[in-house]
Structure 1
């Protein structure tokens, strides 16, 4: 009995070989699982996984047929409408730009004409020759105000200034304050009647020749030429100032002509011309406009 049990106990004490092989198997399975998961993730990221799956059913010819195009007439009408709309917008914009350009050109022509009139007035007041300004006056204003233009040009050929009129009046003062000896009876009677009428209206001091000459000087300085001429004509020796009176009237006439030219440059509706000789038919922004419903418009209609 002892011999049999002794050999049976030795194999039980040796290490079991199956435990190591089982661990290696589990480790290999884990590595394979991880590799498979990584492969699936890579295929999904690349899009290959969808290709490996079931494919959708093939589409029929009816499904792949594109939508029918619109009728040719409708497409043509839509295109024409779009083109016509764009052309209408372009024409409207061009017409507005043309109107604005025409208005700007007209206003520029009026402004230039007004500057020419101002330059002519300045030269006239200084007694200087007009030079090229006379050509501009003829070009711009001759069609609208020929008499005023000719008056300014004629006066510039023989100019007279306010200072010159005042100096000449001062030089004529001794002759204007005395009665001329060669006056006729009618002239003396007329002066006497005029003096009597003035004495009744004014005091003796205001009606004296010296006072009249002083007032004439003041009127000249204020450019009230009519009043200055009136004072000189009431003096006893007014006949000695005939040339002075004629020059003063010429100066007054040229001032009125210049006023007319300036007004023409601002308000003339049709006959004013620009620097190229073209008519300035653009309405002036300074021209008065009748309000709606004005009686004059109703009468004109």
Structure 2
């Protein structure tokens, strides 16, 4: 009986010792797990609560630099950097100058092309056509009168060969005295043609010589000088249409000279 009771006590003590060991081992495992996983510890309630910031304490605000103040400290330019900047500026200036020259050359070429085409049309006695708006656009603002003269001449063309042919046709009339001249004027003219006194360096004022000089000037294209000689002929008053055509031709070519000069100076 006594041996049975002692055996029971021994087995109970063993069980109690095993249970104590299991509790110690489980506690150690739980402490290790909570130290390794803080989220699990906070979930179970073993983690330390974060101290709340007092309500009356102002929040810390990051301060930004003022707009005018540099974000980084200023860097002193070195002589090498200044020299490189100066070189780049010089290159940029040369490029701008070359570009301006190219644009000026292109504009000058366009203006000369329009002016030469207009002269060719006037010399041929044809209408300007598409050149008329180009002339007005290119030269109208600064040479309006010259452009208007050229446009008018193109609508009523007068060619050099036409002037020469008409002058040859009018030869007898130009050399003769006008019908409205009085008898005394005719006698004076005839007497003057018989005897002429002049200086050696002055041209002859006889109608035949004057007509020949005018015809030579006209054949060489010097219409203004030919007109000046023709105005000395006795019968020039009988050729008003030829005089008007010659003056229109001279005005048109002077206007062409003006716009060609402007085209050479165009930018």
In structure 2, the residue matched to 1:200 is 197
Query: 2:161 pairs with 160, 163, 169, which one?
Result: 163
Q: Distance in 2 between matches of 1:140 and 1:166?
A: 33
For 1:199 and 1:160, locate their aligned partners in 2 and report how far apart those are by CA, in whole Å.
37
Would you say the 8 A contact 2:198–2:204 is kept in 1?
Answer: no
Q: Which residue does the alignment assign to 1:260?
A: 258
SS in 2 for 1:200: coil
SS of the residue corresponding to residue 106 of structure 2 reads helix
Deviations 1:114-148 (A, max 9, x none): 12111111111111111111211111111121111
Count of aligned pairs between the two proteins: 193
TM-score by length of 1: 0.55
**Structure 1 residues 231 and 202: CA distance shift in structure 2, 3 A:** farther
Separation of aligned partners in 2, 1:146 and 1:235: 35
Aligned to 1:226: 224
Task: Compute the TM-score of the two structures, normalised by the length of structure 2.
Answer: 0.61
Distance 1:199 1:243, change over 3 A: farther
Matched residue of 2:239: which SS?
A: helix
Change (3 A) 1:83 1:202: closer
* Residues in 2 aligned to 1:202 and 1:181: alpha-carbon distance in whole angstroms: 31
Question: How much does 1:208 deviate?
Answer: 3.9
Q: Give the match for residue 146 of structure 1.
A: 144
| Residue equivalent to 1:44 | none
Which 5+ residue runs of structure 2 have no aligned equivalent?
A: 1-71
Secondary structure of 2:237's partner?
helix
Alpha-carbon distance in structure 2 between the residues aligned to 1:114 and 1:229 = 29
Distance between the aligned counterparts of 2:128 and 2:144, measured in 1?
17
Q: Distance in 2 between matches of 1:244 and 1:181?
A: 18
Offset from partner CA, 1:250-301 (integer Å, 9 cap, x none): 111111111111111122xxxx5xxxxxxx4xxxxxxxxxxxxxxxxxxxxx
Find the counterpart in structure 2 of residue 128 from structure 1: 126
- Using the TM superposition, give the Cα deviation of residue 113 of structure 1 relative to its aligned residue in structure 2, in angstroms: 0.6
| Whole-Å separation in 2 of the counterparts to 1:255 and 1:262 | 10
Map residues 41-190 of structure 1 onto 2, 5 A cutoff. Answer: 77=75, 89-183=87-181, 188=185
User: In 2, distance between residues paired with 1:100 and 1:118?
Assistant: 27
Task: Indicate the SS of the match to 1:199.
Answer: coil
| Deviation digits for residues 28-48 of structure 1 (CA, Å, limit 9, x no counterpart) | xxxxxxxxxxxxxxxxxxxxx
- 1:143-195 CA distances to partner (integer Å, 9 max, x unpaired)? 12111111111111101111000000111112222223233679x48x849x6
- Determine which of 209, 212, 215 is the counterpart of 2:210: 212
How far apart, in 1, do the equivalents of 2:78 and 2:148 lie?
A: 61
How far apart are the structure 2 equivalents of 1:225 and 1:200? 28
Q: 1:168 to 1:202 in 2, by over 3 A?
A: farther
CA 1:161 to 1:229, structure 2 compared with 1: closer, same or farther past 3 Å? same
Distance 1:160 1:170 in 2: 16
2-structure distance, mates of 1:104, 1:94:
15
